[in-house]
Chain A
């Protein structure tokens, strides 16, 4: 920005607003992480102070590691999230490509139909989904969760990606056709790399609700072998006694993998924006 367009009070104002928002957004996360390293008494006595030499306590983490099979829960969460993400991106991009590339009767209607899911929460259909899973013998399997999350993520993915795919140059796709590339190669090799920023955006929006979800794991896969992290952490929350050390430790740990995935996608996002464009 040029010097002429900025003034000191304005810069301060903008930064003040942004900093305030950052503090509000990060505050609960920091409180969770800070308190997860403190003893139980210290958590209640002074929840906002960082751990000191005497209040520092890893009891939460040792409890989490000792209790149940947390490594397994992590694995489950990760499997479900990554598998759903992969399917959402794959099928979402393919549907978006078909909608934006091919002229066929009912194209617009099909697009609206596929986008309908954005407006209707999938949880409304929980009972039917449960019946379906019982009937097909998928209760207490990770497959059930992957299927549900794929269905949940597809509408938004199709909606966002088809807008982006319309912007990919027709000439480029046609050049591929003249060179004899199949439609699949045109899709995977020419179009997908160009919509990578959009893919990263969709990935982030799809991934976070899946990782954080408690509803479907609780209903469809509450068994020990299929528990996800969010569900596993519920073990420590009781009606009368809650093991706060363990809950906070479990939540702190649960942030890590999703943070890694996020960093991975945001790097992709930046790379996608800066890589050579069509022209």
Chain B
């Protein structure tokens, strides 16, 4: 199968530097997710791995081989796109077969591979249909099938779930996770959705403004964010950042996750007034304007009866507060 190594990859479009030197090692069979806000360079990096874009400098190695100057078709990769990108004039079967035909695979083997992957993705009833006759979820499955039949060293996913509705997104996410378990293939997945990143990844690469902010397993990023950006990006609702001086701390900024704050009607560290409460059933999000710490978001599990104007006391879990220095780096 395939490992991936990226060595000091830089990319500029004219004067704009999109990637400012990326180094990364992806082990064989690993599921790595690139996550970051839009414009952080994650898609550009994926396109450089695929060979659809040339890096301004640096190298890409797939399975130990330098492929920096190889065309996409010779890199042993397959890619699934956000817009599915199925060939509109070909039926499902031919969509899947085209890449193999192009590579000169014998017809019998093409049939066998298409049979196997269409069974895996339950696409058999649709093999004779054109993309226009399929629903969004089916089209994305065909796109995944087209990647599967190539039996690539490396799977690349470019925001594959962004065009699907919420319910389908959850289903397809599950399918991709199962696919990875079954194939044990190396996968690189780009998304701006941290839920996808957290649920799918073995390791997450958080990108911001062309730089890698942190690389780690999902729980590592959640429990030990290396800096303010990662702390704010991972987790929903977002971590509360409080000016250290207001709390009498030496650190520049103190961070507390909304789920690590306890509330009480009678006593606690920060007294405040409820501005708004979001009742989601499983969770209740309370926005509390406190005297000491300013506006704080609190996530309470289960139903909790409160509303605007109510007075509450909030107490952060001291063991799970984070401290950041003036440059935004995590302390201790």
B163 and chain A: residue at smallest CB distance: A279
Give the residue among A175, A180, A193, A277 with the most B Cβ atoms within 10 A.
A175
Contact with B along A164-177 (1 / 0, CB 8 A): 00000101101111
Q: In this assembly, does B82 line the interface, its C-beta being within 8 Å of a C-beta of chain A?
A: yes
Contacting B72 at CB < 8 Å: which of A178, A193, A194, A278?
A: A178
B158 and chain A: residue at smallest CB distance: A171
The answer to whether A174 and B87 have CB atoms under 8 Å apart is no
Contacting A172 at CB < 8 Å: which of B77, B87, B103, B130?
A: B87
The answer to whether A177 and B85 have CB atoms under 8 Å apart is no
B89 and chain A: residue at smallest CB distance: A193
The answer to whether B82 and A171 have CB atoms under 8 Å apart is yes
Give the residue among B77, B81, B136 with the most A Cβ atoms within 10 A.
B81
A178 to B133 Cα, complex, angstroms? 24
Main secondary structure of the interface of B (DSSP, over half): mixed
A173 and chain B: residue at smallest CB distance: B85
Q: In this assembly, does B78 line the interface, its C-beta being within 8 Å of a C-beta of chain A?
A: yes
The answer to whether A180 and B83 have CB atoms under 8 Å apart is no
Residues in B neighbouring A275, C-beta threshold 8 A = 88, 132
In the assembled complex, the CB of B236 is this many whole angstroms from the nearest CB of chain A, namely: 28
Q: In this assembly, does A54 line the interface, its C-beta being within 8 Å of a C-beta of chain B?
A: no
B residues 277-312 near A (Cβ < 8 Å) are: none
Q: In this assembly, does B177 line the interface, its C-beta being within 8 Å of a C-beta of chain A?
A: no
A171 to B159 Cα, complex, angstroms? 12
Contacting B83 at CB < 8 Å: which of A171, A181, A194?
A: A171
Contact with B along A39-70 (1 / 0, CB 8 A): 00000000000000000000000000000000
Residues in B neighbouring A169, C-beta threshold 8 A = 83, 85
Q: In this assembly, does A276 line the interface, its C-beta being within 8 Å of a C-beta of chain B?
A: yes
Residues in A neighbouring B87, C-beta threshold 8 A = 172, 175-176, 189-190
In the assembled complex, the CB of B94 is this many whole angstroms from the nearest CB of chain A, namely: 11
Contacting A277 at CB < 8 Å: which of B50, B79, B132, B163?
A: B132
Q: In this assembly, does B102 line the interface, its C-beta being within 8 Å of a C-beta of chain A?
A: yes
Residues in A neighbouring B47, C-beta threshold 8 A = 174
Contacting A276 at CB < 8 Å: which of B50, B99, B132?
A: B132
A178 to B163 Cα, complex, angstroms? 21
Q: In this assembly, does B73 line the interface, its C-beta being within 8 Å of a C-beta of chain A?
A: yes
A189 to B88 Cα, complex, angstroms? 10
Do A175 and B79 contact each other (CB < 8 Å), given the known contacts A181-B102, A276-B131?
Answer: yes
Interface residues on B, range: 20 to 34
The answer to whether B85 and A180 have CB atoms under 8 Å apart is no
Q: In this assembly, does B170 line the interface, its C-beta being within 8 Å of a C-beta of chain A?
A: no
Contacting B88 at CB < 8 Å: which of A171, A178, A180, A194?
A: A194
The answer to whether A178 and B77 have CB atoms under 8 Å apart is yes
Residues in A neighbouring B163, C-beta threshold 8 A = 279
The answer to whether B85 and A179 have CB atoms under 8 Å apart is no
Residues in B neighbouring A172, C-beta threshold 8 A = 83, 85, 87
Residues in A neighbouring B245, C-beta threshold 8 A = none
The answer to whether A179 and B73 have CB atoms under 8 Å apart is yes
The answer to whether B102 and A174 have CB atoms under 8 Å apart is no
Do A193 and B71 contact each other (CB < 8 Å), given the known contacts A174-B81, A279-B163?
Answer: no
A residues 18-44 near B (Cβ < 8 Å) are: none
Contacting A171 at CB < 8 Å: which of B85, B131, B133, B136?
A: B85
B104 and chain A: residue at smallest CB distance: A180
Q: In this assembly, does B322 line the interface, its C-beta being within 8 Å of a C-beta of chain A?
A: no
In the assembled complex, the CB of B191 is this many whole angstroms from the nearest CB of chain A, namely: 16
Residues in A neighbouring B79, C-beta threshold 8 A = 174-175, 178
The answer to whether B131 and A175 have CB atoms under 8 Å apart is no
Contact with A along B80-123 (1 / 0, CB 8 A): 01111111110000000011001100000000000000000000
Contacting A178 at CB < 8 Å: which of B73, B86, B131, B132?
A: B73
Do A276 and B85 contact each other (CB < 8 Å), given the known contacts A174-B79, A179-B98?
Answer: no
The answer to whether A180 and B102 have CB atoms under 8 Å apart is yes
Q: In this assembly, does B24 line the interface, its C-beta being within 8 Å of a C-beta of chain A?
A: no
A17 to B81 Cα, complex, angstroms? 48
Give the residue among B50, B82, B99 with the most A Cβ atoms within 10 A.
B99
The answer to whether A174 and B130 have CB atoms under 8 Å apart is no
A190 to B77 Cα, complex, angstroms? 21
A180 and chain B: residue at smallest CB distance: B73
29 residue pairs A–B, Cβ–Cβ below 8 Å: A171-B81, A171-B85, A172-B87, A174-B47, A174-B50, A174-B72, A174-B79, A175-B79, A175-B85, A175-B86, A175-B146, A176-B87, A177-B72, A177-B73, A178-B50, A179-B73, A179-B146, A180-B74, A180-B102, A180-B103, A189-B87, A193-B88, A193-B89, A276-B131, A278-B85, A278-B88, A279-B83, A279-B84, A279-B136
> What is B's interface to A at a CB cutoff of 8 Å?
47, 50-52, 71-74, 77-79, 81-89, 98-99, 102-103, 130-133, 136, 139, 146, 158, 163
Sorted nearest first, the 5 A-B pairs with minimum C-beta distance are A276-B132, A180-B73, A179-B99, A171-B85, A171-B81
> What is A's interface to B at a CB cutoff of 8 Å?
169, 171-172, 174-181, 189-190, 193-194, 275-279
Besides the known contacts A174-B79, A175-B86, A180-B103, 5 further A-B residue pairs in the complex with CB atoms under 8 A apart: A178-B78, A179-B73, A179-B99, A276-B133, A279-B139
